[in-house]
Each structure stands twice: as structure tokens, then as C-alpha cells.
């Protein structure tokens, strides 16, 4: 007798919203063995060659394979299967948009809830970490070639992991004073504890990857300096420069980019001021402009540092928001207020130059734009004011030009992203790039996928594949 299908997924225990808005501890608490075994038992174990979930994964994790190992209570085995293609499962298990990737394709969806793949991946990684288990990985003997990775975010860390295993001498350069890129300055503690990024970096160090911080490539060292010392370079420098709209009052005090707001809180720990030296303004009402994951992170962080009323101001309707459903749900549970079909037109300051209100205008949705989403159109005469003490812009970022502004060989698109071909080759010989630096703002796991394929391309190049005469730009 076949066992009946368990249609409902096992929910992940979470901190109570009323409590969690007063702390920065992780919201999702993780599966216990019991819960993980129950969820793993729901998997239909599609054959690896056809498993739709694997096709949905940007880094090709053998999902049925590791779930089978969970069922067998073999954490080391599960970890090793994941590590075949994904060196950062503690991170992807937390921040991947699984609902748009592996889980979207899960066959169980036809009869019930899809398997909670992300949470199971996290369970494996966390359990292994707790038990001090590391995967046994094969590290090829040193081949005498050196590769520099610029940026220690998800793209760079992934490329570093793969290249060191292939036998390269790998050095990661980081501009900030800590490693992890967006994982440490952008994504808040309550979604991805910093200790996890640190753990993954320590693991890469144990494999032989070298890390050097406080080096701004383009300033401290140029790309030319690096190419003198290394056989190839991978640029995983992200999309770190925030956009500000050209609206009246946008430079009033109390108006932040999400990058500044989150960097102060996450990287500099301003939520512990004055124990930590970096301050942040703590007022009562804060408005976040934008509808992506970064906007949710900023809004939820604002609640945690004591803002009482936090608004998400989004120009389209809820279904167009780019944030993950889970993040929107968490924000709603925590009391973030959402305003749809509104855009800021002006910021009003008090006599000291602090923002005191934002003037908003109502939108209606017009024709679809190039992204296929209906374009918001302001409706004249519908302006109204919202009193605030602070505003955070989370309306996208572009790549930081500091790296390549004095490197004419490196060509960029009109959006400022580096031009690369399908093998992640830039327009400069020996220089590869991936992640947000070539995509604009995307996700951690897409950056990791680029890091992986970039590492493979670097390997081919260093084994003698000729550099093309002309780079055929790849569209992302």
C-alpha cells in the first residue's frame, strides 16, 4: 500500500511578530529534526535527470538527492550533495526566492503544497554547522596560477570556492572592513545573521582562499596593478550605488538611501548606539519608498530601532511588488503599513532642514512598460501629505563606477553594468565579471550562479582557451 501523500507543507517556526519587532534575532527559527524529517518525507523523489526542481535552481543543486539523505538522517551526506554545486547553503537556504525557482517547479504543487526546499536546505546547513561537520571536498593540487576576486559578496565567494577547489591560488579583495558584501551590509540580521556570512568565509579560508580587506579596487589598487600579479580577475563588485530621484527636498536631513540606512544598522550596528559609535536617527514615523526586498528590509529594520509607524510607499499595486511574498507577509505581520499607487513628488523640511513630510501623488496604472508591468501614471490634483521623521529610498541601485572609471578597456552598458559575454568575459582580457555588477540589482543566488559559471570560464581561459577578438554582449 503506497503511503498517502502529505499535501500540506510543514511550516517553519517563527518568532512571534509582537516580540520580534523589538529584536534583531532571526525571524525564522529553523526546522527541528522532527519537522525536517516530516517535510522531507513529502518529497516524491523525482529522478535526478528529470527533477523539475533542479532545473529551477540557478546553481543546479541535486535537491531530491539531499532530501533523500535527510530522510536517511545523514547530514554529512546531504551537505556533501549540496556542496557539489553550492558552497553557501546556510545563505541560499535563507535568502533564495525559492518560490520563483526550485519550489515553483515542484511536482507536489499539482496535488498540494510544494516541498519546502529552501527550509530543508537551511536545515542541512545549520545542522551541519551546529555539529561541526564540513563536507569532504576534493581540492586539486595547486596549479601555480593566481586568480583575484574583487568583492566578497555572493558572486565572489562562490567563484572563490570553485576556483580554489580547481587548484588555483585565490585571493579575495574586499573594500569594506568585513567580508560578505550585501550579505553583511544589506541583508539584515533578522533575515541572515552576520555570523553565518562569517562562518562561510571561515570555511573558504579553511580551503585555502586568501582574503584581504580594506582594498578599494580602482583606488587602493587599480585593475592594472592586479593584472600584474594575477593571471585572471573576477569582478563581483555588485550594484552598490544608490539612486536618488531628482525631487525637491531630497537632500533634507532624515532622508536616506536604503544602503545608508541598512549599512548603518547592519554593518555598523547603529542599533546598538552608543555602545557602537555609529548613530542613526530614531524617530516615530518613517516612509520607505519602493516595493522590493530591500524596501521590506528597511521597513522592518526601522520598526526594530523604534519607529512606531512605518510605511511602504509603492507606485504600483501589491501584485507588482518585487519583494518575496514571504517578506511582504513578514512585514505585514509586523505592522508595516502599505500604501499602493502612490509616488513621492516633494519632501518638506522644518526650519532645521529635517524632513517633516512627504508630498505624495496618486497613480493609476497605464500601459505595460518594457518589464511587462503596467506603468504608473500620476493623477493630477491628487497630491496629499504624509508626516514623517525619516524617509528611506529603496528604488534600486546601480554598479559603483569607482572600480572602472579610469579603465577605458572596461565597457559598460547605459545602465552602468559591465558588459560581459556568455562566458562572463568583460571587454578587458583576463577580466571576468558576474553578479549585480553585470545584472544590475538581482538576487544572491543569481550572483552565485554567475560566480560558478564565471569560475568555470576562468578555468577554461587559464587552460588555454583563446580570448575572443570581440565580446558578444550577453543580455541579462
Partner 1 sequence: MFEIMDKKLLAPNIKWIRVRAPIVARNAHAGQFVILRLHEKGERIPLTLFKWNEEEGYIELVFQEVGKTTYELGSYEPGDKIMDVVGPLGNPTPIQNYGTAVIVSGGVGAPIGYAVTRALKEAGNRVVSIIGFRSKEYVILEDEFKKISDELLITTDDGSYIRKGFTTDVLREYLENGGKADYVFTVGPVIMMKLISQITKEYGIKTDASLNPLMVDGTGMCGACRVTVGGEIKFACADGPDFDAHQVDFDELMSRLVEYRPEEKIALDKYMKGGC
Binder among 50, 73, 177, 429 for partner 1 (CB under 8 A): 177
Give the 3-state secondary structure of residue 434. coil
C-alpha span between 209 and 157 (Å, rounded): 9
Nearer to partner 1, 259 or 293 (CB): 259
Nearer to partner 1, 76 or 281 (CB): 281
C-alpha span between 461 and 48 (Å, rounded): 30
Q: How far is the CB of 404 from partner 1 (least distance, A)?
A: 12
298 binds partner 1 (CB under 8 A): no
Nearer to partner 1, 46 or 402 (CB): 402
Q: In the window 129-168, what residues touch partner 1 (CB under 8 A)? A: none
Q: In the window 207-246, what residues touch partner 1 (CB under 8 A)? A: 213-216, 219-222, 240-242, 244, 246
Are the beta carbons of 86 and 92 closer than 8 angstroms?
Answer: yes
Q: How far is the CB of 116 from partner 1 (least distance, A)?
A: 34
What does the buried/exposed string (b/e) look like for 55-90 if buried means 16 or more CB atoms within 10 Å of the residue's CB? ebbbbebbbbbbbbbbeeeebbbbbbbbbebbbbbb
Q: How far is the CB of 52 from partner 1 (least distance, A)?
A: 38
If binding means CB under 8 A, how many residues of this protein chain bind partner 1?
A: 42
Nearer to partner 1, 16 or 352 (CB): 352
Nearer to partner 1, 222 or 317 (CB): 222
Nearer to partner 1, 142 or 350 (CB): 350
Nearer to partner 1, 52 or 349 (CB): 349
Are the beta carbons of 273 and 281 closer than 8 angstroms?
Answer: no
Exposed (0-12), middle (13-18) or buried (19+): which is 399, by Cβ within 10 Å? buried
Q: How far is the CB of 377 from partner 1 (least distance, A)?
A: 25
All 3 cell numbers of residue 202? 571561515
All 3 cell numbers of residue 184? 553583511
Q: What residue has cell string 522644518?
A: 350
Binder among 79, 175, 391, 444 for partner 1 (CB under 8 A): 175
Binder among 85, 86, 116, 259 for partner 1 (CB under 8 A): 259
What does the buried/exposed string (b/e) look like for 248-278 if buried means 16 or more CB atoms within 10 Å of the residue's CB? ebeebebbbbbbebbbbbbbbbbbebeeeee
E-state strands within 255-301: 255-257, 285-289
CA neighbor of 241 nearest in space, from 404, 387, 79? 404
Binder among 76, 210, 269, 373 for partner 1 (CB under 8 A): 269
- 77 membership: H or E segment, kind and range: helix 75-83
CA atoms within 13 A on the CB side of 383: 9
Binder among 85, 158, 171, 263 for partner 1 (CB under 8 A): 263
Stretch that binds partner 1, among 78-86, 113-121, 145-153, 259-267 (CB under 8 A): 259-267
Nearer to partner 1, 251 or 382 (CB): 251
Q: How far is the CB of 244 from partner 1 (least distance, A)?
A: 5
Stretch that binds partner 1, among 41-49, 203-211, 275-283, 436-444 (CB under 8 A): 275-283
Exposed (0-12), middle (13-18) or buried (19+): which is 202, by Cβ within 10 Å? exposed
Nearer to partner 1, 307 or 340 (CB): 307
Q: Which residues pair with 287 in a beta bridge?
A: 311, 391
Q: In the window 339-378, what residues touch partner 1 (CB under 8 A)? A: 352-353
Binder among 143, 278, 322, 413 for partner 1 (CB under 8 A): 278
If you write DSSP's letter for every residue of 201-233 in order, what string do you get? HHHHHHHT-EEE-S--BTTTB-HHHHHHH-SEE
- DSSP single-letter state for residue 263: I
Q: What residue has cell string 558572486?
A: 155
Q: How far is the CB of 237 from partner 1 (least distance, A)?
A: 10
Q: How far is the CB of 122 from partner 1 (least distance, A)?
A: 28
Nearer to partner 1, 65 or 240 (CB): 240
Binder among 46, 137, 207, 402 for partner 1 (CB under 8 A): 402
All 3 cell numbers of residue 80? 556533501
176 binds partner 1 (CB under 8 A): yes
274 binds partner 1 (CB under 8 A): yes
For binding to partner 1 (CB under 8 A), which residues are involved?
A: 175-177, 185, 213-216, 219-222, 240-242, 244, 246, 250-251, 253-254, 256-257, 259-260, 263-264, 268-269, 273-279, 281, 352-353, 400-402
Amino acid at each position: 500500500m503506497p503511503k498517502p501523500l502529505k499535501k500540506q507543507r510543514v511550516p517553519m517556526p517563527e518568532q512571534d511578530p509582537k516580540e520580534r519587532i523589538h529584536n534583531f534575532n532571526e525571524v525564522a527559527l529553523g526546522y527541528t529534526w522532527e519537522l525536517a524529517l516530516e517535510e522531507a518525507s513529502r518529497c516524491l523523489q523525482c529522478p535526478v535527470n528529470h527533477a523539475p526542481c533542479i532545473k529551477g535552481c540557478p546553481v543546479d543543486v541535486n535537491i531530491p538527492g539531499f532530501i533523500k539523505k535527510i530522510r536517511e538522517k545523514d547530514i554529512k551526506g546531504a551537505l556533501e550533495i549540496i556542496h557539489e554545486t553550492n558552497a553557501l547553503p546556510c545563505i541560499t537556504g535563507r535568502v533564495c526566492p525559492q518560490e520563483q525557482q526550485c519550489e515553483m517547479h515542484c511536482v507536489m504543487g499539482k496535488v498540494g503544497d510544494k516541498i519546502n526546499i529552501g527550509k530543508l536546505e537551511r536545515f542541512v546547513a545549520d545542522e551541519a554547522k551546529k555539529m561541526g561537520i564540513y563536507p569532504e571536498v576534493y581540492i586539486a593540487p595547486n596549479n601555480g596560477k593566481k586568480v583575484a576576486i574583487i568583492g566578497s559578496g555572493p558572486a565572489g565567494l562562490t567563484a572563490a570556492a570553485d576556483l580554489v577547489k580547481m587548484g588555483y591560488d585565490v585571493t579575495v579583495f574586499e573594500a569594506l572592513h568585513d567580508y560578505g558584501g550585501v550579505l553583511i551590509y544589506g541583508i539584515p540580521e533578522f533575515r541572515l545573521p552576520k555570523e553565518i556570512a562569517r562562518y562561510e568565509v571561515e570555511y573558504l579560508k579553511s580551503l585555502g582562499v586568501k582574503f584581504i580587506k580594506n582594498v578599494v579596487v580602482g583606488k587602493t589598487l587599480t585593475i592594472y596593478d592586479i593584472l600584474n600579479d594575477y593571471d585572471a580577475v573576477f569582478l563581483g563588485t555588485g550594484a552598490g550605488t544608490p539612486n536618488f530621484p531628482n525631487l525637491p527636498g531630497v537632500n533634507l536631513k532624515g532622508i536616506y538611501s536604503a544602503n545608508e540606512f541598512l549599512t548603518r544598522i547592519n554593518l555598523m550596528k547603529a542599533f546598538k548606539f552608543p555602545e557602537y559609535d555609529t548613530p542613526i536617527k530614531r524617530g516615530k514615523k518613517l516612509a520607505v519608498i519602493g516595493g522590493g526586498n530591500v524596501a521590506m528590509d528597511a521597513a522592518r529594520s526601522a520598526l526594530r530601532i523604534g519607529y512606531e509607524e512605518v510605511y511602504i510607499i509603492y507606485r504600483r499595486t501589491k501584485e507588482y511588488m518585487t519583494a518575496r511574498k514571504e517578506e511582504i507577509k513578514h512585514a505585514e505581520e509586523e505592522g508595516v503599513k502599505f500604501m499602493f499607487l502612490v509616488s513621492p513628488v516633494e519632501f518638506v523640511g522644518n526650519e532645521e532642514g529635517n524632513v517633516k513630510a512627504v508630498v505624495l501623488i496618486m497613480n493609476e496604472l497605464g500601459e505595460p512598460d518594457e518589464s511587462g508591468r503596467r506603468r504608473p501614471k500620476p493623477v493630477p490634483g491628487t497630491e496629499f501629505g504624509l508626516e514623517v521623521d525619516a524617509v528611506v529610498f529603496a528604488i534600486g541601485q546601480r554598479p559603483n563606477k569607482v572600480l572602472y572609471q579610469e579603465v577605458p578597456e572596461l565597457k559598460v552598458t547605459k545602465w552602468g553594468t559591465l558588459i560581459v559575454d556568455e562566458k562572463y568575459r568583460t571587454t578587458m582580457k583576463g577580466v571576468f565579471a558576474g553578479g549585480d555588477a553585470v545584472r544590475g540589482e538581482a538576487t544572491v543566488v543569481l550572483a552565485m550562479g554567475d560566480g560558478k559559471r564565471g569560475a568555470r570560464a576562468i578555468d577554461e581561459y587559464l587552460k588555454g582557451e583563446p580570448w575572443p577578438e570581440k565580446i558578444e554582449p550577453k543580455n541579462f
